[in-house]
Amino acid sequence: MPGRLFTAAALRNLAPNGSELPDLVLHRGSAAVPEYNNPDLMPGMYPTLFPAGTGGFEVSDRTCPISFQKQAEYYLDLADRSFRYHHSFLFVTLNIIQRRTAHLQTHFTVRRSKFEAVATKLVAVKSSVLQSVADHLEKEGKYNSLTGEQKAALDLLKHVNTIAARIPGSEAAKVFMRNEIRSYCGFFGLPHLYITLNPSAAHSPIFQLIFGDETIDLSKQFPILVSARERALRLAKDPVAGADFFNFCITSIFRYLFGWDYDKRESTPSGGILGKLESFYGSSE
């Protein structure tokens, strides 16, 4: 018999004799589940990954506190690859990290001449007014139909700019990187070499070894690999191994080919094929 799933509300309509008992009951409430400081969030969402109901994030009584991102990275590096192979854990975790970065790394800037006036008005604005303005705009309401308090809150947006330079992939982050590159050029001079590195995980025997294929013999010049289709499936199945491969390649190139010491953050005494590096700047797409 196929499994039957009922919500808590549907249970009230079941027969009293118990002949229609469900296999799974989903409870619901009027309030959203808190995303911050909620150790039961992940074990509740992924019972197959946390079968004992323990091991959640941001446990308050943990002896050694650990951040959400560091714990997520730890789970993805476990010998048991259930976390990295799960169909949604990666995406949900990344979404939470991105949301938190947006919440904690977004700042407002105002012209100095208008700072005092805007700061006074901004502190006085009520959250309920902002919510009502957002709902009004979502329904494509007209500006003239707003109340005076709502118009004042909306007019503040003309004087306030949002800065989110630390959110990866944001437009502000790209501007921040361009400014860093200009600063490098101003301090060290123009770069002498521009390179593009594009290591291919799908065709590399090193990735197959990182993936877990112990039949790969790196002592041979041309190791025997599985078919191209299987290599592509492995890369799609384990993006964490693909990221590890990319990091390994870039680090190895600069350490052994260009002679860069990552621990001391300077060129090695012997340098590399280009001599000693004074500095370098790189970004990944």
pLDDT of residue 1: 38
Identify which has the larger pLDDT, 229 or 103: 229
Q: Is the pLDDT of residue 165 over 80?
A: no
In the chain, which ranges are E strands?
Answer: 5-7, 24-26, 107-109, 161-163, 260-261, 266-267
In angstroms, the CA 65 to CA 86 distance is 26
> Nearest Cα to 42, choosing from 26, 28, 59, 30?
59
Per DSSP, the three-state class of 261 is strand
Work out the percent of the chain whose per-residue pLDDT is above 70. 89
Q: Which two tokens stand for residue 72?
A: 């997520």
In angstroms, the CA 95 to CA 248 distance is 25
Collect all residues with Cβ–Cβ distance below 8 Å to 242 and sequence separation of at least 6: 201, 207, 235
Q: Tell how strand 260-261 and strand 107-109 pair up.
A: unpaired
When mean pLDDT is compared across 78-82, 104-108, 271-275, the lowest value belongs to 104-108
Q: Is the pLDDT of residue 111 over 90?
A: no
pLDDT of residue 16: 54
In angstroms, the CA 270 to CA 260 distance is 10
In angstroms, the CA 40 to CA 70 distance is 18
In angstroms, the CA 116 to CA 126 distance is 18
Identify which has the larger pLDDT, 120 or 165: 120
pLDDT of residue 232: 94
Residue pLDDT, tens place only, 37-79? 899 999 989 999 999 888 999 998 888 889 999 999 999 999 8
- pTM as predicted: 0.70
Half-sphere exposure (Cβ direction) of 103: Cα atoms closer than 13 Å: 8
Q: Residue 23: which pLDDT band, with cuts at 50, 70 and 90?
A: low
Identify which has the larger pLDDT, 39 or 150: 39
Query: How big is the CA angle at 134 (ends 130 and 138), to the nearest 5 degrees?
Result: 170
In angstroms, the CA 208 to CA 215 distance is 9
